[in-house]
Each structure stands twice: as structure tokens, then as C-alpha cells.
Amino acid sequence: MKYKNTLQKGTVRFVIFKENSAWYAAALEFNIVEAGDTPQEALLLLFESVQGYLESARKIKARPNILNQKIDPEYEAMWRALQNQTQKSFSQNLYAAGRLNLTGRNLGMLPA
């Protein structure tokens, strides 16, 4: 089976959204979700979690399936809505979406 993400390269999509009074950032392909008081804090916590997740996966030489998990349909719908902001399903609680480049030691943001 061929995987999109490997220990050497790939991308992970993310969304930032508000639910009640908390902000959340989710890494779709990794099923990691972080919460914060602001969208910026949630995104920073998500970046740190994704970095730690990748470092651990590389350290144990994990199989690529953990970098290509089944995506929660709710997060997938949010990501798609933010890609096409003219959709009626776009909510004011959705803040941002994008992609993280997994190549190398540091995460890098890519255009969504």
C-alpha cells in the first residue's frame, strides 16, 4: 500500500475552529486536536504536538500508517468549507485551514 505521508516527507492538513468559548486546532491525518484560549494558541499547541508526534514516530521508525489515519468526517467538512469560503456551509466559528510540510526536522506551512 502506498501512503501519502512517510517518515521522510508528506503534508498534514489542519483546521482551526471555535466551539463554545474554546478554540481548537486539528491535524486531520494525525487525528491530533489541541485547545487554546485563542486561535493562535491552539495552532501553536498543535504545531508542538505534531512536531513531537513526528519525532517519536521517527525515533521508533514507525510504519507510515500512523501518519495516514482515517480522517474525522466533521474535520474534513470544515477543511473543505474553508477551502471554498463561498459555500453556504461556511461558519463564523471556522477560523483557518492549511497544510503543514512534514519534510525535514522542522514543520513548514504550505498554502492551503
What's the pLDDT score for residue 106? 54
pLDDT at 83: 83
Class of domain 11-100: alpha beta
* Contact (CB, 8 A) for 87 and 79: no
Residue 89 predicted with pLDDT over 70: no
Quote the CA–CA distance of 41 and 92 in Å, as a whole number.
18
Domain boundaries along the sequence of the chain: 11-100
Mean pLDDT of 69-80: 93
- pLDDT by residue (tens digit) across 4-47? 999 889 999 999 999 999 999 999 999 999 999 999 999 999 99
pTM: 0.86
Per-residue cell: 98: 492549511
Distances (CA, A) of 109 to 43, 106, 112: 12, 10, 9
Tell me, what amino acid is at 105?
R
Confidence at residue 28, expressed as pLDDT on a 0 to 100 scale = 97
From the DSSP assignment, how many helices (H) and strands (E) are in the chain?
2, 5
